[in-house]
Amino acid sequence: MKHCLLICCSIFVLYTKAQTAEETYAAGWQYILQKQTDTGLSLINRAVFFKPDLESSKTCFALGDTLFFQSKFELADIYYSKGYDLISLDSLDDEVAFKMAGSAYFIQKYEASLKYLKNYKNKQSYNYNYYMFLDLWALKNYDSCLYYLQKITPDSIYYHSVKKKLRHIDHISPQKALIMSLFLPGLGQAYAHDYKNAVNSLALNAVFVNAIILTFNHYSWLEMVMGVLPWWERYYRGGAVHAKEIAQKYKTEKARKLLLEVNGYLMGR
């Protein structure tokens, strides 16, 4: 009798837990849809802990979609990744692959975005070529990104214009700016089109060199080495490093503006 009662109680407890898990999961979804994300995900994770079967690829992708459209791309990427691990790659839908690539792109996981795009079946579609272009641009793989840009740009004249501008950006070298500034202070800044800092660097270095010569002529080489030379060397080296940073910033800004221009053209056509 006792054993029978114990078995009945165990079945009741297990049934209650299963029901509670499902209800908790449903409640979590309601919070997610009301954009109370933290509370919703907490309830969903609690339900999944008691009943792991609730976390299927379908539910993970559905959660990912909902979070994606709420612009919560980091959380969307987590659930897309879970869904991705639970299915065979052959059954991955193009729409889901596109959303997965998008969420990864928005959180700057460009390599992961490219991985998802490899599973895209319709490789002639606009969405596929557009995201390949964006990911490769972000990775500064300009030669490859131009290939995909050509596929989505109907105007060949505009494409060649972008290609020319992109080649120019790609040839801007921060390392070259550093070497130029070591050769002649201010030259690296001028190379990066920062003429104000170029003039300042050249003028201040000239002042330091003049101070070195005057100290050597009127006092002694020891006072020149101990008093003026270290300050000049520090400023001279710092100016070269700064020139490299300015060139990198200039290159990044030019690429950002060109990408905005290209996106504007693609969206407006």
Per DSSP, the three-state class of 29 is helix
Q: Are 92 and 119 in contact (CB under 8 A)?
A: yes
- Two structure tokens written together for 166: 């992109």
pLDDT, one tens digit for every residue, the chain (269 residues): 544 544 444 443 444 444 578 888 888 888 888 888 888 888 888 888 888 888 888 888 888 888 888 888 888 888 888 888 877 656 667 888 888 888 889 899 999 899 888 888 888 888 899 999 999 999 988 888 999 999 988 778 888 998 999 888 888 889 998 888 888 888 888 988 888 888 888 888 777 777 777 776 777 666 666 666 676 677 777 888 888 899 999 998 998 999 999 988 888 76
> What secondary structure letter does DSSP report for 121?
S
CA distances from 114 to 38, 75, 87, 104 (A): 29, 19, 18, 9
Q: Which long-range contacts (CB under 8 A, 24 or more apart) does 261-266 make?
A: 261/162, 262/149, 262/162, 265/153, 265/158, 266/130, 266/152, 266/153
